[in-house]
Each structure stands twice: as structure tokens, then as C-alpha cells.
Amino acid sequence: MRSLRLLVCAFVLLALYRVARSFKYEHSNQQLSHCAQRSNRQINKLKDTQDHCSVTNDAVSRLYTKETFDSVTDRSKHMSKVDAGTFVIGTDEPIFFADGEGPKRQVYLDSFYIDEQEVSNGEFTAFVDATGYRTEAESFGDSFVFGGLLKKEVRSKVPVAVAQAPWWLQIKNADWKHPEGPASDLAHRMDHPVVHVSWNDAFAYCAWLGKRLPTEAEWEVACRGGLSDRLYPWGNNLIPNGRYRANIWQGDFPSNNTKEDGYESTSPVTEFPPNKYGLRNMIGNVWEWTFDWWSVDSGPSHGSDKVKKGGSYLCHKSYCFRYRCAARSQNTPDTSSGNLGFRCALSV
Ligand SMILES: *[C@@H]1O[C@H](CO)[C@@H](O)[C@H](O)[C@H]1NC(C)=O
Ligand SMILES: [Ca+2]
Ligand SMILES: [Ca+2]
């Protein structure tokens, strides 16, 4: 009887904790939600400055706080500044219509900073060392790993979890420190992007530095690097002069990765040339979480999934031609996998 009561009590506490936590994110999201509504899916409806999307740093810095934040100048080291203006995002020639890649539309954004590179394992280590933060994958005890990166003996023992994508395997104790499961580590990968981090983990990391996640509109504007109406951050030619500018998949997916770009899995965040804004790997390497809730219609103030952008080292034209600035996809905020990371943004 007593143990039952304890159990019920534990459940109630857990439920309360969940509600409190979701309230926290919900609340912070409401601070930004007008940005999603105004800048994300609406078509050319900007009339005056009331429609400007402005994101305040307060909205997130109230949630998680380092003792003192450095000034914006200090915090914006290794970030690129995108000056306020009107930009065009989306496309009228969607490849995946159902993803809501279109229409092409105008957005007005206030100035913002965005990390030049994806957040690396080295940077995430500093965060965990300083805070003792535990990622959701560590708490859940598993995460999704691409089967092709596992030894055959390991692979054959794991049941298929996702019927439509049998190459994703749910691996016990795979987490950011063990990207392919317990037998793997980060040796020689401290400069690679951190993976197996959920949206909640990404949010916590950025907030710790007094930063935030970029909105989808900011991310896409940053991806486009000042060019208009191009597929990639550098133009429309995927491999200009025969040189790869991003880490994606070459060969037959999912069985034969010919690694023409030099990488089977993640590459260092410093690899490949930057776009005109000085940003690397906006497409490819790892997918990147954005702040926005997922919708293919208007930018909602809540939802069940978050938007991710840019595609990853697993994307091939044959099935995931999503290594384009306009492309988008989604996952629940507690999802993690071996090809999903993030970078942070900061309001000016
Ligand atoms: C992988 O693809 C390349 C290029 O098409 C081919 O030369 C190679 O034989 C293939 N390897 C396997 C194991 O199928
Ligand atoms: Ca590759
Ligand atoms: Ca990326």
C-alpha cells in the first residue's frame, strides 16, 4: 500500500515536472512566436514596422542563466552579423511540396548574430563540464544511429525501429559522447558537430551562453548568404569546379557511400568554405534545430514538432534532396539522432 502511494506520488511529481518544463519552453516560445507568425509562412504581408520580427535576448536569458552574461560584443565572438533588412525566403519551385517549402515570400528581420559554425563536441563538453547538464538521450538511454556506421555484428542484433527508414537503429546508450553507441567515443572528433542532442538540449546550451536558437527565417536568410533565389549557400551548382562545399552522401543510399566529399559521417565544423556571411556547413554535415514550431501553413505559437534545416551527411538527391536553403523537416523537441545538431543565434 505504502509503496503504491509512493509510486503514485512519483508519477504525480513527474507529471508536474513535465508540465512545468513544457510551460517554460512554451513561455519562451511565446516571446518569439510573433516572429514565427510574421516571418515564417506569411506571404508578402509586410506593411509597416509593426510587422518586423524582433527577438529579444531577454526571452531566453531569463530561463537559464550563467552567473553573468558577457556583453553582446563578447558573446558574439565567432558569430556573423546579419544586418536588418527585407529578405526573400522559401521557393516557388518546391521539391517537397508537402514540406511547405513554398511559397517564396518576403520577411523583414532585425539584425542578428549567428554562429559561424555548428556547435562542436569540444564546445558542448565545456558546457557539460561547467553545468553537469545531462542530455535527453542520456536520460532516455538510447538514440538513433545510422546502421551503416555500425559493425555488422552489432547491426544484425538490433530490431528495425522505423519501417520506412530501416537504416535508423535505436541504439542503447548512444549519446553525444558515444555517437555510435557505448563502444564509440569522441577521440579525434572534438572539432566535429555535437550530435544526439535534442531541441531541448540545444536550447539549454544556447541559453547558457546567453544565446538562443535562430528562428527558421533567420536560419534560412543566413543560409542564403545574401544571394537571392539560389538552391545552395553559394549558388545553384552543387559542385562548383568539381569541389565539394558541403558534406552530404555520394553513391547509392543507403548501401554504398563513396565519400567523394571526403567524409562518411560528420566532418569538422571548420571544414568546407564559408558562404558570403562567413558561415560554414549551413547545408549538410548535420541538420540544425531552429526555434520554430513546425507547420506547413502559418507559423504557429505551439505545436508538437520543431523545424530543422539544412540536411545532413546522410542526404542524397535520390531520397533526401533537402540540402537546400529552402528545404525543411521536423522532429519532436525530445528527439535525438546521429545527424542532428545545431548552432546558436543572438539578437543585437
Ligand atoms: C559503390 O559505388 C561505386 C560507384 O558507383 C562502385 O564503383 C563500387 O563498386 C560500389 N561498391 C559496392 C560495394 O557496391
Ligand atoms: Ca559525405
Ligand atoms: Ca549543417
Each residue of 71-85: pLDDT tens digit? 777 889 999 999 999
In this predicted structure, what is the pLDDT of residue 268? 98
Cα separations (Å) of 27 from 37, 41, 64?
16, 21, 13
Checking if the pLDDT of 267 tops 90, the result is yes
User: Measured between alpha carbons, how far is residue 49 from residues 29, 147, 347 in Å?
Assistant: 21, 49, 17
pLDDT at 74: 81
C-alpha span between 320 and 60 (Å, rounded): 33
CA of 252, nearest ligand number: 1
Q: pLDDT tens digits, residue range 100-131? A: 998 888 888 889 999 999 999 999 999 999 98
The protein residue whose alpha carbon is closest to atom 5 in ligand 1 is 251
Report the phi/psi class of residue 18: left, alpha or beta, with left for phi > 0 and alpha for psi in -120 to 50.
alpha
By DSSP bridging, strand 85-89 and strand 340-341 are unpaired
How much is the average pLDDT of 97-101? 93
Distance CA 123, CA 230 (A): 31
Take residue 20 and report the three cell numbers written for it: 512545468
Whole-number pLDDT of residue 91: 94
- Of the pLDDT bands very low, low, confident and very high (cuts 50, 70, 90), residue 302 is confident
Mention the CATH class of domain 85-133+190-347.
Answer: alpha beta
Least trusted range by pLDDT, from 7-11, 97-101, 174-178, 303-307: 7-11
Ligand 1 nearest-atom number relative to CA 251: 2
pLDDT single digits (tens) 201-223: 999 899 888 888 999 999 999 99
Backbone angles phi, psi at 216, to 5 degrees: -60, -40
Q: Is the CB of residue 260 below 6 angstroms from any atom belonging to ligand 1?
A: no
Residue identifier of the C-alpha nearest atom 9 of ligand 1: 256
**What number is the average pLDDT over the span 342-346?**
95
How many residues are given for the chain?
Answer: 348
- Which is more confidently placed, 200 or 35? 200
- Of 62, 41, 59, 38, nearest to 50 by C-alpha is 38
pLDDT at 150 over 70: yes
**Has residue 327 got a pLDDT over 60?**
yes
pLDDT at 294 over 60: yes
- Record the pTM: 0.86
pLDDT at position 309 = 98
Determine if ligand 1 sits within 6 Å of the CB of residue 258: yes
**Domain map (residue ranges) of the chain:** 85-133+190-347
Pocket mutation for ligand 1, best pick of 258, 259, 264, 318 (most atoms within 8 Å of C-beta)? 258
| pLDDT at residue 26 is higher than 70 | no
Mean pLDDT of 257-263: 98
Residue, of 27 and 86, whose pLDDT is higher: 86
Residue with the bigger pLDDT between 66 and 159: it is: 159
